[in-house]
Structure 1
């Protein structure tokens, strides 16, 4: 900022008489009388992320002269607090990304929207989409190279409740990771410790070194991989844009008790998966060439270059809600959002919606939950609410979504967008998910019951794969 005066202007410190006269007056944005200035918090979040990046770089700079082996680090399952640093920035100094996959523990302590019914149905299988989203995210963080560093093989010890996996799930989780491009699936742990803090955390072996249930399933996957041969990932036709900075913005000013950036992204990802689509996760600076459908929900800060690239993409693009809602300093921009090139739409006001205050769509299923925006627009209205206000507007292939849809709303919007993009979709049975590789289409049954698909009955925790046909567009 060069001077305290410039910082005061950028942060809007005139409000509540927060002006600083000297750099030494600026403390951390905590222990304040009331909420701190969101611009102060946002800059602190950036600074904190940069410190993680710099610390990791100290390690990579020390190792590079000593070895030509690839460098790898492991990340975690995301929650509101696990987006504290930009994983893309850390990944720029590494060769391989990896993450710790604990489907049953995560279902219990961090999956957004996992109500009692959802947790009961998937108690022993895990959420059908949470792991897959992380697989795709960390594939992007690792520039195509990624591992599962820790895979859950049995009950863990740290969640509120720690059920055992349904027989077959350890095999399914491993195969799902491989179908999403994992180079390796490693288990935590080899032998269950009989002592200390994690003595109730299962391994592939029991504490007496006898085989635990997960061992036979891990061995089965190893044999199957050897028989099937090299599994090459395939570039998806659909993409979902992910920005850690947006998470910092909405953590700081959620404007609604249940508004989380990761929850919004997860809901969009779920809808694409329910439609049978495979997905690539993209950072905001990624090349967009070759994608036919791009979803960009909640991109709070949108530089002009990003807006231009999305507007000029050959893909069908859906931006919003809350996209372009903040400047780099965390203020409301003028012109008002979303200010997308070629799309005549302006957000008049926004509202967060408590449970039960849904805004239904007109002429079909769906509603806005959690968040709704009032648009002033002369663009084509694709979907309207029952109140007659625009829910989804478009100009050519660029769309703006003016709220957070429920499950039925997301399914409707993804179906419309996929049709516009020329992508074939299918509404999958509840709990069934597909993933396309270079040569095969894999099916994974997360449901607690058998499901029929592609002429076969897939049991609970079942995995099937078929050679890819020329007309497969998942």
Structure 2
């Protein structure tokens, strides 16, 4: 469906959104008025309410109590604060799972997952869906035209815990999905390769989800179950959405979870169903480069929004509660994190949550009003951020433009990380992050796109570990290069089609001709024993015996039984070029190669400085350069314009203090836009 709602429109005044999750049911009503007073002090203009409200609204089956929610909605409306109203269906009340224990989800080993946490239901359960939709009908009929309502929030972080259910109800739903996909059993048997291990099916009822087995499961069966599970959760979203639209004209969305540890929803298929793209993101200290992952998540969310502004529905003022070590944010870090999302296309910043809980499993999760109250650094930062968003309000509706695309696929992630592959040490998301981090370190702004996306606006496309790729999607990359673009492809790409069927003829399969190389076997490396390349840098985790067909070598192996063979190649193809990286490179080497590829492709580069993140949002008349200093030293950047946070004119150089952010409004001379994207690509191909 076409999305006409703007994120800034949710603020009620067209300014940037500043908000939070608000859980008034956890507090005595005497606290509510103080909360609203403080919200106004901080500049909050949108709050998410009724996210986990089912048991409050329907304490017993068929008995509804709306008095408290009525009071909260009216109080917020009276104070000019909009509501992102939850449908309340994200966690089942105890009476429902007690009366209908059959709705509880089952893990792959057949064991039941019990109530006591959240999302204790099977996504395919008709009992759950009927009860949930009855609640949605009541809520939307009552509040569909309420003056505080700005947007509907379906469920919450859909599939965060229960995305894969292996119960008998799910099995039947899976069979129905397979019938719709394949039509008949012959087609399914061919797609799944059931001639292997005597797995052929002769009746639909023989098919099960990929439950725990004594050996490896059928990889295409597992892949299809991932696809089914994502579609099943989306179908429930759509069922709630349909009820909401019958009772209200307000826009509808839900909060995605684009993050390193969440992989079970294919958000490329979900995004077209949202009126506004919204994401939840938390800094992940389990990663080597959490700041680069934050930027990647923001760029991916912008990709899901097709370049339009999006909403950060949740992030944290400080520590979270669910990592092995929940680290509080240092001075200025919350504001830097927040404005990074803004720089990369968000038109709204919201937190979980407003007031820190005193009980429950999230009681040590940070909030806008912490346990320490308003006499705290967190509260002072919250107020400062609200003030900063007021100064940046003219950015609303501006967009981010990139000349480099990075292909990312949840479907390829599911297939890539299955068992019985050449190396369990190579994980898809880690290779995606490695490529993105190298681009981030180089100061190159990236659009994250799905396989098959139109590449005509780009000069360079980066394709990390695209193990599974459809023929038509591989052809898009091949045609892009043949017409003058540049591609940078890393190992274990192009290997299988959408049915997990290996392409014969040698690796890298679908990209063999494009890359001008061929290999017969993979040679995974022990992480403790990397090889050495001829530039002295390490080659780790992966190697393969590459034979050049039309490509030229760029880097080769200096040690091991591949000594003298190429590890990195470049191939002229049509009027463009394609690079291939056949091993895991040191980060600095990968960065240098990507910079080299970008320069050759004609990508316009800005000066990259260690610790200084630079991103530009573009408007009709002005550009807005975000300079985010993650380092402990001042940084300088050449630019002319007006710095919006300090209201200071910048004649030549802006100083960005250690740990600070500067946003400079500029009036650039736009490059000639009459020429085709092809001519722009050709301009960068003179260095061969």
Please, what TM-score do these two structures have when normalized by structure 2? Answer: 0.62
C-alpha displacement of 1:137: 0.7
1:200 to 364, 385, 391: 364
1:134 maps to 297
2:489 to 297, 305, 319: 319
1:28/1:210 CA distance change after superposition, 3 Å: same
Q: What are the within-5 Å matches in structure 2 for residues 430-449 of structure 1?
A: 430-438=610-618, 439-447=623-631, 449=632
C-alpha displacement of 1:360: 3.1
Q: What are the within-5 Å matches in structure 2 for residues 257-406 of structure 1?
A: 257-313=424-480, 314-336=484-506, 337-340=508-511, 342-362=514-534, 364=535, 366-386=537-557, 387-390=563-566, 391-395=568-572, 396-406=576-586
C-alpha displacement of 1:247: 0.4
State the alpha-carbon separation in 2 of the partners of residues 426 and 255 from structure 1. 39
C-alpha displacement of 1:415: 1.5
State the alpha-carbon separation in 1 of the partners of residues 320 and 514 from structure 2. 51
State the alpha-carbon separation in 1 of the partners of residues 282 and 373 from structure 2. 22
Q: Is the 8 A contact 1:95 1:142 kept in 2?
A: no
1:338/1:169 CA distance change after superposition, 3 Å: same
C-alpha displacement of 1:20: 2.9
1:226/1:9 CA distance change after superposition, 3 Å: closer
C-alpha displacement of 1:469: 7.3
For 2:210, what is the secondary structure of its paired residue?
Answer: coil
Q: What are the within-5 Å matches in structure 2 for residues 37-48 of structure 1?
A: 37-48=218-229
State the alpha-carbon separation in 2 of the partners of residues 8 and 219 from structure 1. 60
2:265 maps to 85
Q: Is the 8 A contact 1:445 1:460 kept in 2?
A: yes
1:148 aligns to 2:316 (yes or no): no
User: Per chain length, whose mean CA-contact separation is higher, i.e. which structure has more relative contact order (CA < 8 Å, sep 6+)?
Assistant: 1
State the alpha-carbon separation in 1 of the partners of residues 282 and 187 from structure 2. 46
C-alpha displacement of 1:98: 1.8
Moved more, 156-165 or 364-373: 364-373
2:201 maps to 20
1:52 aligns to 2:233 (yes or no): yes
State the alpha-carbon separation in 1 of the partners of residues 233 and 201 from structure 2. 28
Which stretches in structure 2 are left out of the alignment for 5+ residues?
1-181, 558-562, 638-652, 672-688
For 2:347, what is the secondary structure of its paired residue?
Answer: coil
For 2:600, what is the secondary structure of its paired residue?
Answer: helix
Cα offsets for 1:356-400 (capped at 9, x unmatched): 3323332x3644322233323222224222223232232232333
Which stretches in structure 1 are left out of the alignment for 5+ residues?
119-126
C-alpha displacement of 1:211: 4.3
Q: Is the 8 A contact 1:284 1:306 kept in 2?
A: yes
State the alpha-carbon separation in 2 of the partners of residues 16 and 441 from structure 1. 58
Q: Is the 8 A contact 2:612 2:635 kept in 1?
A: no
Moved more, 253-262 or 276-285: 253-262
1:425/1:361 CA distance change after superposition, 3 Å: farther
Q: Is the 8 A contact 1:392 1:399 kept in 2?
A: yes
1:124 maps to none
Q: Is the 8 A contact 2:633 2:657 kept in 1?
A: yes
For 1:49, what is the secondary structure of its paired residue?
Answer: helix
C-alpha displacement of 1:77: 4.5
1:389/1:64 CA distance change after superposition, 3 Å: farther
2:274 maps to 94
Larger gyration radius, structure 1 or structure 2 = 2
1:172 aligns to 2:323 (yes or no): no
State the alpha-carbon separation in 1 of the partners of residues 626 and 536 from structure 2. 30
1:241 maps to 407
Q: How many residues align?
A: 453
Please, what TM-score do these two structures have when normalized by structure 1? Answer: 0.88
